[in-house]
Structure 1
Amino acid sequence: MLKIAEANPWSRRLEDNSIEINNMPAEEVLPSLPSKAYDKVLHDPPRFALAGELYSQNFYAELYRVLRAGGMLFHYTGAPKSRRGLDIQAGIIKRLKSAGFEILRVIKGYAILARKVS
């Protein structure tokens, strides 16, 4: 992922020393991050079949924990299995709400925007 970012002109700011890059699996680094420390989280996981832990209730609870009150989560979802009539976003929305998130916007087959309420 970092090699791809190097080639992307929009990712040049990643070279800024004020940006900390943790090149580890998210489910491993997230529990070590401080609570209420981040304003925004961009979550762009692989497909559910490849990384189900990144769609779990525990993972969403950790995302909620690290966000400040009013913090925003942009969760890219894509539309896997939509041709078979499965709605992966419905399950994600249910788990995000259970973690405490307020769902602000759902872009069908693309993403969910949520906010930490308190």
Structure 2
Amino acid sequence: MPHDLIFSHHQISPLLAKNPASVISISPNLGRTKVHVRRVESGWALPDGELLTDANLNTISSDLNGCFRLVGSQLKKVQTFSSRTNRYYSLMPTAGAPTMLISGIPMHRVKDITPDMDTRQKLKALGKPYGRILDTASGLGYTAIMAAQTAEQVVTIEFDPAVHEICRQNPWSAELFTLSNIQPLIGDSVDLVAAFPDATFNAIIHDPPTFSLAGEMYALETYQHLYRILKPGGRLFHYIGNPNSRYGANTGRGVIARLGQVGFRVSAKPRAFGVLAVKENKGL
């Protein structure tokens, strides 16, 4: 599916200004690139002949949490329902990369930060990715895409195929399927992690859903396997949540204790809402 002609209220706001110019530059793909559009009688003409009608603009502007593909003259909201998880997914715009709503809950931090900024903070906390990287929870693929800029290979796991359906419509997720050094997998991270050979990865990003949705990804046995598949000296960034919230503080205490129990040296990374766990090289 092509990653073009997808709009949110952010992109069309210049077209709704009072007395707009007859030619305006807007993004047709949620901020990735820009094109010039021209005012015509019934709306705005795009360079390849497509038309954003005034009715289209009203629909987009009335849904602050929606992203819409323009297919012919019709708008199709980027959303899907998963029969596997009984969850509803939709793409939610921000001032930067969009996030995904999972039954109405944003996947990324969106207060005073955009998902792409959030991803950069996680990778900064991890340290520059190199060698072979594991991303245990793909989501929209931003972590894998950013890590692939410096890593030799990124293996990224997504539990729900419906999430990939959203990714294939999101311009910011395109590289998840096109970069040759990203290997996207569909499956249960807990099972796949247990099956990897010892000392496979140089670093791991572990950004699971909340404990209530995926408690097994916080289990001692899972941490034992994460430790096992890391190379000596390898690093694990574990996203937890706001350390100043009740959930973040309570969950964080358990995470730190269990990571330490399996052998990691753990340090807090509060700006990234997580912790860094290092598998020390005992041969040094």
**Residue of structure 2 equivalent to 1:22:** 185
**SS at 1:105 equivalent:** strand
TM-score for both structures, normalised by structure 2? 0.37
Deviations 1:18-68 (A, max 9, x none): 322221110111111111010110111011011111001000000001100
| 2:211 alignment partner AA | F
Aligned to 2:212: 49
Distance (whole Å) between structure 2 residues aligned to residue 84 and residue 27 of structure 1: 22
Partner of residue 76 from structure 1, selected from 225, 228, 239 = 239
| Partner residue in 2 for 1:2 | 164
Match of 2:252 in 1: 89
- Answer with 1 or 2: which has the greater Rg: 2
RMSD value over aligned CA atoms? Answer: 2.6
- Which structure is higher in RCO with an 8 Å CA cutoff and minimum separation 6? 1
* Alpha-carbon distance in 1 for matches of 2:195, 2:208: 19
- Most deviating of 18-27 and 53-62: 18-27
Cα pair distance change 1:41/1:11, threshold 3 Å: farther
CA 84–41 in structure 1, closer or farther in 2 if over 3 Å, else same = closer
Aligned mates of 1:38, 1:27 — CA distance in 2: 16
For 1:44 and 1:84, locate their aligned partners in 2 and report how far apart those are by CA, in whole Å.
15
**1:50 counterpart letter in structure 2:** L
Aligned residues: 118
TM-score (norm 1): 0.83
In 2, Cα distance between the equivalents of 1:5 and 1:98?
Answer: 36
Q: Which amino acid counterpart does residue 69 of structure 1 have in structure 2? A: P
Residues 52-61 or 9-18, more deviating: 9-18
Cα pair 1:30 1:62 within 8 Å, conserved = yes
- Match status 1:116 vs 2:279: yes
The aligned counterpart of 1:65 is: 228
Q: Offset of 1:3 from its aligned partner?
A: 4.0
Aligned equivalents of 2:258, 2:280: Cα separation in 1: 15
More strand by share: 2
Please tell me the residue identity of whatever aligns with 2:251.
I
Cα 1:5–1:69 change in 2 (3 A) is farther
**Distance 1:113-1:4 versus aligned 2 partners, 3 A rule:** farther
Runs of 5+ unmatched residues, structure 1: none
More helix by share: 1
Q: How far does residue 83 in structure 1 lie from its aligned partner after superposition? A: 4.0
Residues 24/13 of structure 1: CA separation in 2 closer, same or farther (3 Å cut): closer
